[in-house]
Structure 1
Amino acid sequence: MSTDPALSGPLPDRFRALWDEIAPIGRDATTGGYLRYAFTEPEVALRGWFRGQAERRDMPVTDDGNGNLFARWGPADAGDAVLTGSHFDSVPHGGAYDGPLGIVSAFLAVDELRAAGVTPLRPLVVAAFAEEEGARFGVPCLGSRLLTGAMDPQRAAGLRDADGVSFAEALGDRPAGARPDLLAGFSSFVELHVEQGRALVDRDAPVGVATAIWPHGRWRLDFHGEGNHAGTTLMADRRDPMLTCAFTVLAANKEARTRGAHATVGRVRVTPNATNAIPTTVTGWLDARAADQETLAGLVEAVRAKAGERARRDGTRVTCTEESVTPLVAFDDGLGARLATLLDAPVLPTGAGHDAGVLAGRLPTAMLFVRNPTGVSHSPAESAADDDCAAGVTALARVLTELTSR
């Protein structure tokens, strides 16, 4: 590894130095949030930064053909590698830490192992996964889904963003799809992530271990009506899809609350989107999550039924299309218990989806969370203290030492 001032000094300072290298990339000057969509200029710059960090540490980088990057420390032909890392892409105007924290921490954890003189018996691989948020092409964890075979590459190739650019065009080629040869070389995966909630604040702990990810998914609701003039069309004569959509949003909120679940409609598209015109179509995206699959299915079915009933009353029409669903993910009990004991850290479930949730179906997987003092995520208010981030690096380094020494 080359000598580099950024790789020496107290860990919180080294974290801040590395973090400041990426902090300006993709930040919106007005909101303070980030616009780091997959394969757009900011995210491409971060991918270049990833390659540069790997080069600084003499870690060769490979691409799996799906846009996922892997930087390797250890023999190229050795198996049972321990995988860590996260993603760079963001939701629109999202926070700084969701995703990149796991990649920055992974490189710093490699530095910690090397500084301690650790010679891992198993290779260590740092990953940067593509399109985790699904903010550009609509399907979350797209890179890891393709890698594991959970997503058909032909369907992925045809996904298009708001400007009509296909995933294949953005990638520069058709996605390779499942890579069992690559997955066979991994023995486990540990993803470090900022906590998206306040559990660690309430427990006064800088780091926690995840137990499970709630089942969750996205459904597209298309409401069709009759476009008309806002000033001349009598209220009784209207077939307004916006009314049906608005009712459905309120119904989803009520159904989620009665079930102890979560329902959000955070994205809506209106045609023709004119102030003085009754819409012809309204499309809304329902994000639904629950502690178990039965509750989730009941929630979505109730929303679907109420939307259909209201559409009949409004003289409109609604269709509901499932875009992606992830079942309950229970992380490897043995691995999670080992890490919780090793770190003396609290354990907690999460309602947020992650690449770890996809990879958990293929290899032993665990997650570490770093305290978020605001408890806010997917927002510029998302944050983490440098000392807590350093504690996360220390915890990850201990975990990676444990996993690569066996």
Structure 2
Amino acid sequence: MTAADPLTGDDPLVERFRTLWAELAGIGRDPATGGYLRYAWSPAELACRDWFVAEATNRGLTVRADGNGNLWADWVPAGVNPAGPAVVTGSHFDSVPHGGGYDGPLGIVSALLAVDELREQGFVPARPVIVAAFAEEEGSRFGLACLGSRLLTGGVTAARALALTDAAGVMLAEAMRAAGADPAAAGPDPARLARIGVFVELHVEQGRALVDLDAPVGVASMIWPHGRWRLEFTGAGDHAGTTRMVDRRDPMLTCAHTVLAADANARWLGGHATIGRVEVRPNATNAVPAQVHAWLDARAADPRTLAELVEAITADATARAASDGTTVTVTPESDSPLVAFDPALAEQIRTAIGSGLRVDVPVLPTAAGHDAGILAGHVPTAMIFVRNPTGVSHAPGEYATDDDCAAGVRALAAALAELAAE
């Protein structure tokens, strides 16, 4: 494993990370906000995918795309059964609107560098090692998070997924076809899934736990259950100047009350509730809205609290709608159950990382969803987090130092070596 020069303190891995990271840094970045616009199947995300294919091929890895748009780069040394249970690592390239650059791509860049590290050490895996790049993890374009891994595992049907549309009305099937993929090949892939012996996802931490613990890396214990619900508020469109306040049936009032109710109920129950996306019709300054669509993101530490939270928000919205003369419909769009990562696997990886980095590696939960959470229902799965000094995520302030990213690469390399050894 590469180490810092004892005379200069220079760490060659830090420079290698910095160099590789810089190749991606400008793709899809909005110069005005500093955030990223890497929507699934968009030119920016496709450019990232092309970069991945080139980098993996340069390393002698065999790259394939599955029918769902996920990319797989195989490292299979001579004598290793290519069909055997593989050690898989990776993440995603797509972003939330104006999100940070580390959420997703860090796991892919780190995976490629971890392969480099293991080769430099002379390590030869006894099992295939695969670097994966999953499609549409954020759900920012087509509305369903972890779409690539859900399709792979059968968590969503191909018919439902391909019919999803983006804000411009473009269906997923059309977007895939325009990018040269065949939507007819989308759907569950039991053969591909059976090849995954274990999956380890490295991700920037989306919070400040590692900052408070003064640790560069950590291992995940669980993912909170969470989901997304579409709220449709319907009233009566009218003139903003001539319609008396007493005569209005304004769905925006019901929506605004629901936003406050979501916040209050989440604080009371100890969960998280966010309404961060709203669409108003007709969306005119001088018109009382006729309809408002809003999307609720709700999370909690356990399924019972999550259900109680959503029920409370729905009840408050319904009661307010009756008062406002409007109606509200709540439709679930995605559901991600509680994921408790295998504690024995987490401890095995934590021990391997701690021995390699000579640091104490904390184990911590997360409220953020990941492809690892989807795969955990089918294969042994673990996650490694890299410290985020700002604690900010899904925003331009998301960050990790180059030194901590190098520590993450070494942690991932140690985990892969542990899992892919004889």
| Aligned residue among 59, 83, 89 for 1:78 | 83
For residues 282-361 of structure 1, the aligned pairs below 5 Å read 282-344=292-354, 345-361=361-377
Task: Find out whether 1:364 has 2:369 as its counterpart.
Answer: no
Distance across 1 between alignment mates of 2:396 and 2:374: 26
Distance across 1 between alignment mates of 2:272 and 2:41: 30
Structure 1 residues 76 and 142: alpha-carbon distance in aligned structure 2, compared to 1, 3 A threshold: farther
Contact map agreement 1:72 1:125 (CA 8 A) in 2: yes
For residues 1-400 of structure 1, the aligned pairs below 5 Å read 10-74=12-76, 77-172=82-177, 173-174=182-183, 175-344=185-354, 345-400=361-416
- TM-score, normalized by length of structure 1? 0.97
What is the CA-CA distance between 1:342 and the residue it aligns to?
2.0
Contact map agreement 1:62 1:71 (CA 8 A) in 2: yes
- In structure 2, give the amino acid aligned to 1:314: D
Distance across 2 between alignment mates of 1:383 and 1:96: 8
Quote the residue 1:3 is aligned against.
Answer: none
Contact map agreement 2:81 2:127 (CA 8 A) in 1: no
* Secondary structure of the structure 1 residue equivalent to 2:21: helix
* Secondary structure of the structure 1 residue equivalent to 2:233: strand
* Secondary structure of the structure 2 residue equivalent to 1:343: helix
* Secondary structure of the structure 2 residue equivalent to 1:25: coil
* Secondary structure of the structure 1 residue equivalent to 2:56: helix
What is the CA-CA distance between 1:332 and the residue it aligns to?
1.2
- In structure 2, give the amino acid aligned to 1:99: G
What is the CA-CA distance between 1:76 and the residue it aligns to?
7.0
C-alpha distance after superposition, 1:313-341 (max 9, x if no partner): 00001000000010100011110011122
* Secondary structure of the structure 1 residue equivalent to 2:87: strand
What is the CA-CA distance between 1:382 and the residue it aligns to?
0.3
- In structure 2, give the amino acid aligned to 1:126: V
Contact map agreement 1:78 1:122 (CA 8 A) in 2: no
- Identity %, equivalent residues: 66
Distance across 2 between alignment mates of 1:187 and 1:60: 18
* Secondary structure of the structure 1 residue equivalent to 2:197: strand
Contact map agreement 1:120 1:404 (CA 8 A) in 2: yes
C-alpha distance after superposition, 1:347-384 (max 9, x if no partner): 00000000000000010000000000000000000000
- In structure 2, give the amino acid aligned to 1:397: A
Contact map agreement 2:61 2:74 (CA 8 A) in 1: yes
Contact map agreement 2:87 2:127 (CA 8 A) in 1: yes
Show structure 2 runs of 5+ residues with no match: 1-10, 355-360
Quote the residue 1:5 is aligned against.
Answer: none
Computed over aligned residues only, the root mean square deviation of the Cα atoms, in angstroms, reads 0.9
* Secondary structure of the structure 2 residue equivalent to 1:103: helix
What is the CA-CA distance between 1:169 and the residue it aligns to?
1.0
- TM-score, normalized by length of structure 2? 0.93
What is the CA-CA distance between 1:343 and the residue it aligns to?
2.1
Q: How many residues align?
A: 398
Distance across 2 between alignment mates of 1:362 and 1:71: 21
What is the CA-CA distance between 1:185 and the residue it aligns to?
1.1
- In structure 2, give the amino acid aligned to 1:384: A
What is the CA-CA distance between 1:77 and the residue it aligns to?
3.0
Contact map agreement 2:224 2:299 (CA 8 A) in 1: yes
Contact map agreement 2:91 2:105 (CA 8 A) in 1: yes
C-alpha distance after superposition, 1:249-282 (max 9, x if no partner): 0001000000000000000000011111000000
Distance across 1 between alignment mates of 2:243 and 2:253: 15
* Secondary structure of the structure 2 residue equivalent to 1:72: strand
